[in-house]
């Protein structure tokens, strides 16, 4: 679907993925974790490889892997290596890097720090969308912790509702989690847009439930599949507000 087919001016609700949509990887923290394991990596290089890894990870998710599976972080790091980090890690130490860093990032404290970076324009973008009358709901594949993470990040009070897959018993791309969020917010799918960073999870799941959907693609990494793509949440917000004449 092209972005021209999405009725941005007629939307009544915007649903957001959480991870790498509202709360992003703190790459400086990952750099620190890697350094403690003996790997000298630059946070900017990490950030670029992490974004470039998403289409690769998406292919695994499209084949049925859960974002919440214990080894999905391992797969994510493998995809980052394949997307450009491999020379800096070295083939001999690759398995050590992946297993040890995944363990550090998946620990309770590590996970909290990992998903803690909020791009500067997100609070204002959410506030402006809400002031324009749109309902804002997070629909996240998580472990029951995403509402606390959003509160810690200072975003919870800017949102009308937070739906966590672990609490609902369904995770994206199952349309049931989107239908649950629609029912709780009293919204209809054809007036709702979902924004997320993984095609097989966010776009496919939302479209299965009849919602409109856009994919975040900050660096033009996604060649396929075709769908409406935007650089970031701020850009999506500006398009919605402009279509409403605000
Ligand atoms: Mg995400």
CA-to-CA distance for 23 and 122, rounded, in angstroms? 9
Q: Which of 114, 135, 166 is the last residue of a domain?
A: 114
Residue 204 and residue 226 in contact, taking contact as beta carbons nearer than 8 Å: no
For 197, the token pair is: 């960073």
Q: How many domains does the chain have?
A: 2
- pLDDT digit string (tens) for 92-104? 899 999 999 999 9
Higher pLDDT, 148 or 1: 148
In a shared domain, residues 237 and 135 = yes
Look up residue 173 and give its DSSP letter.
T
At residue 4, the pLDDT reads 62
Sheet of strand 135-140, all strands in order from the earlier edge strand to the far edge? 161-164, 135-140, 13-16, 192-196, 212-216, 229-230
- pLDDT digit string (tens) for 180-190? 999 999 999 99
In a shared domain, residues 205 and 134 = yes
pTM: 0.96
Q: CA 96 from chain center: how many Å? A: 27
Q: Which of 87, 114, 141 is the last residue of a domain?
A: 114
For 236, the token pair is: 């999506």
- pLDDT digit string (tens) for 186-230? 999 999 999 999 999 999 999 999 999 999 999 999 998 889 999
Residue 245 C-alpha to ligand 1 middle, in angstroms?
Answer: 29
Residue 142 C-alpha to ligand 1 middle, in angstroms?
Answer: 10
Q: Is the pLDDT of residue 1 over 60?
A: no
Residue 2 C-alpha to ligand 1 middle, in angstroms?
Answer: 21
């Amino acid at each position: 679907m092209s972005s021209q087919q999405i009725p941005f001016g007629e939307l009544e609700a915007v649903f957001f993925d959480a991870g790498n949509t509202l709360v992003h990887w703190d790459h400086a923290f990952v750099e620190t974790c890697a350094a403690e394991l003996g790997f000298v990596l630059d946070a900017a290089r990490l950030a670029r490889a992490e974004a470039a890894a998403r289409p690769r990870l998406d292919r695994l998710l499209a084949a049925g892997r859960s974002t919440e599976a214990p080894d999905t972080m391992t797969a994510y790091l493998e995809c980052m290596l394949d997307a450009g980090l491999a020379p800096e890690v070295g083939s001999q130490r690759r398995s050590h890097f992946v297993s040890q860093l995944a363990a550090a990032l998946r620990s309770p404290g590590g996970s909290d720090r990992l998903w803690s970076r909020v791009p500067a324009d997100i609070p204002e973008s959410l506030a402006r969308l809400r002031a324009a009358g749109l309902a804002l709901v997070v629909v996240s594949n998580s472990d029951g912790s995403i509402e606390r993470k959003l509160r810690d990040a200072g975003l919870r009070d800017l949102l009308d509702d937070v739906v966590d897959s672990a609490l609902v018993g369904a995770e994206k791309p199952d349309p049931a989690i989107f239908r649950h969020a629609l029912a709780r917010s009293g919204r209809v799918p054809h007036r709702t847009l979902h924004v997320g960073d993984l095609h097989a999870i966010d776009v496919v799941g939302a479209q299965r439930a009849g919602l409109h959907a856009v994919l975040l693609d900050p660096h033009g990494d996604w060649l396929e599949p075709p769908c409406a793509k935007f650089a970031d949440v701020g850009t999506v917000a500006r398009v919605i507000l402009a279509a409403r004449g605000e």
